[in-house]
Structures are given as C-alpha cells and as structure tokens.
Amino acid sequence: MRSLIRSILHMAWLLITVIPWGLTLVVISLWVRRTPLWWFAVNWFRLVIWGTRVILGIQVRVSGLENLPQGSSSPAILLSIAGIGAGLGLSLVAVRFLRAMLWGVRQTDPLTFTATSAILLLVAVLATLAPALRILRMDPSETLRSE
C-alpha cells in the first residue's frame, strides 16, 4: 500500500513539474539566450530529482571507490592520459588554423607531438608522486590518534 501511494505521488510530481516546466522551457528558448536557459534547465532538473528523492525515499551514497585502480594506473594518471589524448586530437584540428605561424616544422610533426605528450605525462607523474611520498612518510598510529 505504501509503495502504491509513493508511486501515485511520484507520478503526480512528474506531471506537475515536467509538463509545465518543459513547455515553459520550449517557449522561453525562443527569446532567451543560451546561458540563462541552460541554468533554468539545470535548476528544473535539480528540482525534479529532489522531489523524486524525497517522494520515493531515495538515499544517495557513493560505493565502489575501492575498485578504482591504484598504483601506476592511478586515476590522476589515467585522467592525464585521457587529457593528453584529447589535447592531441584538438591540436591536430587547431594546427590547420596556425599554418602561418609554423616555421621549420611540419603541421603534424610526430617528434613535437610525442615530446609534448611525454613532458605533460612526466609532469602529471611528478604531481601525483609528491602527495604519495608525503603520505608514505606519515606514521599510521599518529594519524589514527589525531582523528
């Protein structure tokens, strides 16, 4: 019985929020620029999600953090590699517009792209190495006592 009442309330909540706000969003999009329209849509979405959580009793918790890779394939390194890959792709597109500024180097010089990627990856490794070394120097018993 309780789940039936929650389902009916949730359906009413969606009818009250989605249809009027969606129509309002479509009408407003004819006159309003993108940025305020985007914020309107984001806040509308937050309102719908908040109502759904309250009505259905949904509690959010983050789980699975123990499954993130550790060590040499830490999240920071993986994100750095993804960023370097995206940067290489974008630079191959951007170099077409910068032809006049290149002197003595081809547009897609493999040595330049490889060296830049290697330097950026080295910086990422060094940036993640400093906090890791600091944590290794800490005494676990002192850390636990201070908490």
Rounded to whole angstroms, how far apart are CA atoms 10 and 113?
A: 53
In this predicted structure, what is the pLDDT of residue 92? Answer: 78
The residue with tokens 């999240």 is 75
- H/E element holding 104? none
- Phi and psi at residue 95, to the nearest 5°: -65, -20
Confidence of residue 147 (pLDDT cuts 50, 70, 90): low
Q: 61-65, 86-90, 121-125 — which is least confidently predicted?
A: 61-65
Q: Once rounded to an integer, what is the mean pLDDT over residues 75-104?
A: 77
**pLDDT value at 17 more than 70:** yes
Cβ partners under 8 Å of residue 9, min gap 6:
55
Between these two residues, 48 and 68, which has the higher pLDDT value? 48
**26, 7 contact by CB (below 8 A):** no
In this predicted structure, what is the pLDDT of residue 112? Answer: 80
Whole-prediction pTM: 0.40
DSSP 106: -
